[in-house]
Structure 1
């Protein structure tokens, strides 16, 4: 009986030591860093089509978006909205600029808060304005 009691006591002490070490290790975990910022070296652009569910009235869609906290989570931190337009007959077209590492955060934000009100489509994009302007300037310069 003494041997069993002694083994139980040793096991209890070891278990509490491991638990205590785990709690201390968890309390020393550094806080999550702020979301990365888009730079020319890490930025991507993403065009998101939020297609309205036309089988339901707008008031119902808005209520669902509010319930799912769409505007609270989209766009996620660290994601810049370049443009956000209504396209009649389609829904909303949102162009985002973000660090590539935030792509999964955008996806999760939409899956958790937009689905049900919108059908989503995604297209990687890039800003062509400067390239197009250079071509225009090249062909329109007086000879």
Structure 2
């Protein structure tokens, strides 16, 4: 599971770099990956009914957040990576609490773009090998 999480976060990070170039966001923005784990004691139809009753699609993602990526992870649920200004983290939390609870167990992970760091490290290793 941890390896799967690391792979997923690495992929999401590469998507963040592209999204950051395409959308002007405040300097204090952060990237958060939200795991919406399906409650496995419920069938899909029940999950959808809870989402509708809670107004999930009206509240999530909050208008203050920019969706970087959104994947369905079979056997787990949904994984959503969002970019949000620091002042709007509360809105993200409330959107999950009000719209997703009952259908999902939620986990939040601060995320950052590792791709530029990895590329620079790779460049430095290749440069050192040539010497």
What is the TM-score when the length of structure 1 is the normalising length?
0.69
Gapped runs of 5+ residues in structure 2?
Answer: 1-23
Q: Deviations over 1:40-99 (max 9, x none)?
A: x21111111100011111011011101211111111112011111112222111111110
The answer to which structure has the higher helix fraction is: 2
Gapped runs of 5+ residues in structure 1?
Answer: 1-36
- Give distance in 2, aligned partners of 1:95 and 1:103: 13
2:7 corresponds in structure 1 to none
The list of structure 1 runs, each at least 4 consecutive aligned residues, that deviate by more than 3 angstroms after superposition, is none
Aligned length: 106
Kept in 2: contact 1:38–1:78 (CA 8 A) = no
1:68 aligns to 2:54 (yes or no):
yes
**RMSD of Structure 2 on Structure 1 (CA):** 1.4
What is the TM-score when the length of structure 2 is the normalising length?
0.75
Structure with larger RCO (C-alpha < 8 A, sep 6+): 2
1:108 aligns to 2:108 (yes or no):
no
